[in-house]
Amino acid sequence: MALSMCTRVVVRTALSRSLHTSCALKKDYTLNDPFEHATGREKLILQAEREGNPDPFNTKPIKRGKGTKDEPTKVPSFLEKRIVGCVCDDESMHVNWMWLEKGHDRRCACGYWFQLTDAKPLPDCAEFKAIPIGGDHHHH
């Protein structure tokens, strides 16, 4: 009986843990280009990246320029105003947030000046024209 039980455990383990492969059945599958499946903003971002603009919505941090009143750090935007965060000191754990408006340069509390400028245009495609940038924030 012990031998029968041991045989059953070995057979059950072998069946449940076996791995079968066959090169004859292997097929070469490739995934389609993500651009072909993308729609909306995702497609817009992929198109912009193809055209050499890795940050079409300007969401990545930018390095401050001189930051003087005569040469403020330029911040791109599609809109007339944008909220901007300044890390005043390299060692700082705090971000000083402020509104920046086109035509009105702004000085941070740390003394650096910022200026809102026109952002690099997005890819010109009819599919993208229906996507509001800055958008309508009314929900129905």
Binding-site residue positions:
86, 88, 108, 110
Structure tokens at 66: 């001189």
How is residue 104 annotated by DSSP?
Answer: B
Tell me the backbone φ, ψ of residue 132, rounded to 5 degrees: -70, 130
Binding residues for Zn(2+), by number, are 86, 88, 108, 110
Burial 87-123 (b: 16+ CB within 10 A, else e): eeeeeeeeeeeeebeeeeebebeeebbbbbeebeebb
How is residue 13 annotated by DSSP?
Answer: H
CA dihedral 122, 66, 95, 136 (to 10 degrees): -20
